[in-house]
Homo-oligomer: A and B are copies of this chain.
Amino acid sequence: MKQVSSTKGHMTLPVEVGQEEVVLNLYQRWQADALRDSDGTTMPESLAKQDSDIYSVVCLVRADQQFANQHPEYLHRKYLMSFPVTAMAETLVIQPLDGYSKDKYELDDDSDPKCWWEVRNRTTNTVIDVSLWEFDAATQQVLIKQTQPYHEYTVTFMARQVWDSVSMYNALTNDWKGPRIKSLDPYHPECRAHLIKHFAQWLDEHPNTTVVRFTTFAFLFVIDTGEQNQDIYRDWTGYGETVSPRALEDFKKRFGYALTPEDFVDAGYYNGTYKAPSKRYQDWMTFVQEFVVDFAAELVAMAHKAGKKTAMFQGDHWIGTEPFLESYQNIGLDINIGAVEDGVALRRLTDSMGEQTREARFYPYFFPDVFREGNDPVVESMSNWVKIRRAMLQKPLDRIGYGGYLSLANKFPHFIDHVSEISREFGDYLQHTQGTESQKLTGKIAVLSAWGMARSWLQNQARDQRFYVPPRPDVMEFVGNNLLECLAGLPFEVEFISFDDIIQNGISEDIKVIINTGDANSAWSGGECWDNSEVLVALRKFVGQGGGLLGVCDPSAFQKNGRYFQLGDVFGLEKETALTMGRVAMPLSIAKEHYLSQYVTEGLDFGNPSYVYPQATDIAVLAAQGQHLALTARNYGQGRSVYMGNLPFNMKNARLLQQVLIWLSHNETQQHAWLSDYPNVDVAYYPQTGMVAAVNYVSEPQQVTVSNAQGEFVNISLEGYEWKWISI
């Protein structure tokens, strides 16, 4: 057990030149113990002398712009597909970059088009022979011959990125001045050698730095940018910007087959993380991970040798170094830093393997968009904090931090007090938990998706998201299906498994409930992964022998063999996709005597109408929206299944999920010590420290009664938002 005191600091703060006094003041009030310089700042001398850790940010691939300007051949490349163009005659001219930002992309003249590009007829999905098209470097055009009128054509081309997406964002959105930053691709040995040399020098030049904070290593997440310099495609975990001819050639040697341009542009879908990945694309990801881990490990070793600790920010150029990958541990990092806006983001930080210290960087950033007159930054912060606290009760968090300009925050005294209170609560948490874990209910919950562990606690993007305009366009707010946020604060052991895991290793004995949640066609639901009888048999057997199966939204959705929900036999229902309209629907009747009926109360939210109807007579319909099923339960063999139309996050939904998971794991007849049945209050028991925590999610006072380990009832009163610790 780590020994942690509440008085020692536990927060990382950004420095700000000329604001030393403000920084020092907040450093003390907020119980900080580390300072960091940000992209836009450097560490003032007076602060560097504090008895604190000094985090210094380094983003090596952006660090030497002179070298980047001298070596366009080492810039980041990517495959882009031209927007489809319809042939109106028997020749067609396509300007590949039409529709894309000319400030960001250039056609890559280091890669021979005839070798690295691809022209397709998208109407017939056929590759056009290279003899039938020509690239004219002078006009930057592709001329295609013998085209078929009214067929659509595309050119997949390699683009060179001459403006880094993050630099572009800061320039265009935050009005940052300064040159347009370019990113270098360390996959090129000469480039890598240069960056290593540069880093060695950087280490020399940062004697006061105690923690090297990598932001990050090699390849940026994906942002594609349109003609007006607007974002047109985003994938915060996408591998689209990792390509170079050299890497593609090495891939072929390593895997024994060559990838094509189409493997990357994917008919214009670009292998979005929300899509079930192809085997070929997974191979490419493995290839990238092998390289990036090797490169990152080299950098980390250098920092260690220089007597410094290392931290990685889970974002920016973090492709290939996602902490849930097994290979991540080979890098040797000391600290994982995550940007945390809710419980899911917190669990994404805390739940990965390894002995790293976990530091949560909270929102809001101290930037003028939030810290402006008339706006109360406490609103966003508190809304985040109540979600984060729930998740912190499930897995230990070690440190917290903020970013931005402290001088801006300092203009909001109410906010300063609010963060002081957060830091105090966090200090208490460290002291009372001592880095140990709270008690969980018996039986592990597994979330089944196409990605499994690799994408643990990644918010399941949903169709509804696209049609939601958030108040702040750059802040993630998840709408629609958000079961993971409900789950993040519940007392269950959770793991994420993939279809491949099931096929290769079967279903582990300690798993009591499997959840499949997400839109049809998505990696979360599984898409074509359900086109596999082994998977169906394994899951039917799992439930048949006593397991629990929870399906939300479009579980097991894949049209085949007379079913849309491939496990519709287990759930006892089917989705209407216009293929079964002749089946006569009987008006629904709501089951009132089922164990779960007592938990169907006002305030539950099952999202949009499900278009799901019963197909078994022994299904218990617990809730419906008109004739659309919203919540059902059914026995199957010795096991149980539950279907929910959707599960957006709210506390009533979260508590319903708790009851559903208890019922699915056949635990409903047991009395559970220190378990809250109340929507607004979470209770956690730390057996190793003998402490119990109770947190109030809302501003109204709450009274709850829970049983202790001896089965006696204990009353707990909480003020609005109060977090109480009880020693037992």
Contact = CB atoms under 8 A, between A and B. Distances in A.
Interface residues of A, number: 72
A72 interface: no
Given A234-B584, A578-B521, A562 B122 contact: yes
A148 interface: yes
A626 interface: yes
Interface stretch (A183-191, A263-271, A326-334): A263-271
A125 interface: yes
Contacts of A522: 578, 581
A608 B626 CA distance: 14
Given A578-B274, A582-B270, A584-B232, A86 B463 contact: no
B84 A569 contact: yes
Interface string A579-623: 111111111000000000000000000001101010000000000
15 contacts: A84-B562, A122-B562, A125-B561, A150-B537, A231-B584, A233-B582, A235-B582, A238-B582, A462-B578, A462-B581, A466-B581, A467-B611, A467-B627, A519-B577, A608-B609
Given A151-B537, A579-B275, A467 B569 contact: no
Given A149-B537, A231-B584, A577 B544 contact: no
A627 B466 CA distance: 8
Contact of A587 (B469, B521, B586): B469
A462 B580 CA distance: 10
Contacts of A469: 587, 627
Given A562-B268, A627-B468, A628-B467, A537 B234 contact: no
A215 interface: no
Contacts of A232: 583-584
Contact of A269 (B273, B467, B536, B580): B580
A627 to B, nearest CB: 4
B150 A544 contact: yes
Interface in A440-483: 461-463, 465-469
Interface string A127-158: 00000000000000000000011111000000
A278 to B, nearest CB: 13
A520 B626 CA distance: 22
Contacts of A611: 463, 467
Contact of A576 (B463, B576, B581): B463
Interface in A242-290: 267-270, 272-275
A562 B238 contact: no
A502 to B, nearest CB: 13
B576 A541 contact: no
A-B pairs with the 4 shortest C-beta distances?
A267-B562, A519-B578, A467-B627, A150-B540
B586 A269 contact: no
A386 to B, nearest CB: 27
A122 B541 CA distance: 16
Nearest to A99: B617
Contacts of A637: 88
A174 interface: no
A533 interface: yes
Given A151-B537, A233-B584, A577 B467 contact: no
A230 interface: yes
Contacts of A235: 582
A232 B586 CA distance: 9
Given A86-B569, A561-B123, A150 B541 contact: yes
A66 interface: no
A201 interface: no
A243 B360 CA distance: 69
A608 to B, nearest CB: 8
A3 interface: no
A375 interface: no
A70 interface: no
Contacts of A540: 86, 150
Given A148-B537, A272-B579, 18 more contacts: A123-B536, A123-B537, A125-B560, A150-B536, A222-B582, A230-B584, A230-B586, A233-B584, A235-B582, A272-B581, A274-B579, A274-B582, A463-B577, A466-B585, A467-B613, A468-B627, A469-B627, A520-B578
A173 interface: no
A25 interface: no
Given A88-B544, A230-B586, A267-B562, A533 B467 contact: no
A562 B613 CA distance: 30
A143 B576 CA distance: 32
A230, A533, A613, A637 — which one has the most chain B CB atoms within 10 A of its CB? A533
A461, A466, A560 — which one has the most chain B CB atoms within 10 A of its CB? A466
